[in-house]
Amino acid sequence: MEANRNKPTKKQSQQDQEPQLFIITETNKLDQRRLALQACGFGVSKPQMDQLLSELQEQGDDDKAAAWALFNGLHDRAIEILSEAKDPDKSFQRKLISMVLDKSQDASHNDTWQQLCDQLIAQVCDQPYLRAIFKYISANDWTPVLDDESLRLQERLVIALRFLDDDKLTAYLSRTLSSSILSGNLEGLMLTGLYTQGMDLLESHVNQTSDVQTAALIISLVVPRKLQDPRADEWIECYRTLLDRWQLWHHRAKFDIQRGKLMHAPEDIAPPQVYVRCTFCAQTLGHSIVAPNVKSRDGKRVNVQASMSPSSANRITSKQKSNICSSCRKALPRCALCLLHLGTPTDPIRKAITTNNVNCEDPSGFNLWFTWCQTCRHGGHAMHISEWFRKHSACPVSNCTCQCQSFFE
């Protein structure tokens, strides 16, 4: 019974075998913290971290390597890195720091100790990583380091994710998010994402730096496909205007091309570019959401049309009569051959694409569309007119002598 009690469980054995840098605090959101560490670039295993620290040492960046080791809970590794500093001008200082760091866990943090640490901090004021190490040694707490904005936000987030409990972490993230938005710190996009709060952050950045280029390039990744905001449109247009003013037309063209690729997915349907208007009220004939009784500046009534999804369009158009004008309710002209009123049914090509209907008999939607002669103005359904002129050359309307077929050749 005693042997079974001491035997590790299967879950514990798997955790012991995983060479990961574990969260050094109790938490109910372990998976979320690990995911956040990966987003910060520090969600790596211990061997991978050792390799990364060794690379920093080879590059002569011992201070950064020691700080990163300490930020990730590798206390002994940080002492080792500082002890092995190769720079002859700084080796003594680094070895002294390593000794202080080694004894800091056992030292009583009295006034004398605090004064010593403050003196050492003053000596390394221009070295943010050593200063962060001493701030932690001095207080035996990560709070002074988390408030040190000379460190990158990415590095401070790693410390918070590894050492703060859930309540303190939530408070720190909320405080950091607010300060990032207020200061326009672009590193804060790691917390806001490219959504509403991200737009607020970019707005602060533009207001404080006038750096419209960065804002336009960043926001083009999501506008307008995933986010629509008038501020984004203004930044993009300002940037395009700026490139034109500097006569960087090729750069502006490349920007437009790349932004166009991001704006439209391959399956997006191009909007219509040709419209048919009613002969009575001159309003566009088409299936869209129409807001009636809207007047322009000169007092004329106009239709305000709004875009809609294919599903909503099909629901609306199924209730509309397709052989009358949706604005003035006048009947549309008749086909010269079948004598039925011309209509505007749902565009078959759009319906076929949105419903993946590959068996559509008329994928172009051309058969039932309006076709007329530009000379005599007579016409009808495209399929009927096409069939008529396969055998005839004159207009199908009685007493009309127009040779319409000659204009088609």
pLDDT in tens, 190-206: 999 888 899 999 999 99
Q: Is 62 exposed, middle or buried (0-12, 13-18, 19+ CB in 10 A)?
A: buried
Q: What pLDDT does residue 283 have?
A: 80
Q: If we measure between CA atoms, which residue out of 190, 162, 195 comes closest to residue 176?
A: 190
> What is the number of other CB atoms lying within 10 angstroms of the CB of residue 154?
13
pLDDT band at 309 (very low <50, low <70, confident <90, very high): very low
Q: What pLDDT does residue 272 have?
A: 62
Q: If we measure between CA atoms, which residue out of 253, 206, 254 comes closest to residue 232?
A: 206
Q: Is the pLDDT of residue 207 over 90?
A: yes
Phi, psi for 131 (deg, rounded to 5): -65, -40
Whether the CA torsion 236, 241, 245, 251 is positive or negative: it is positive
- pLDDT per residue as tens digits for the range 38-86: 888 887 778 888 888 888 888 888 888 888 888 888 888 887 887 776 6
On whether the CB atoms of residues 305 and 290 are closer than 8 A, the answer is: yes
Q: What pLDDT does residue 294 have?
A: 42
pLDDT band at 307 (very low <50, low <70, confident <90, very high): very low
Q: What pLDDT does residue 210 have?
A: 92
How far is the C-alpha of 203 from the C-alpha of 182, rounded, in Å?
A: 10
Please give the DSSP secondary-structure letter assigned to residue 226: T
Q: What pLDDT does residue 5 have?
A: 39
On whether the CB atoms of residues 27 and 37 are closer than 8 A, the answer is: no
Q: Is the pLDDT of residue 291 over 50?
A: no
Phi, psi for 295 (deg, rounded to 5): -110, 145
> Looking at residues 93-104, what average pLDDT do you find?
62
- pLDDT per residue as tens digits for the range 326-351: 788 888 888 888 888 776 554 444 45
* Largest interatomic CA distance in the chain: 114
Q: What pLDDT does residue 150 have?
A: 85
How far is the C-alpha of 159 from the C-alpha of 173, rounded, in Å?
A: 12
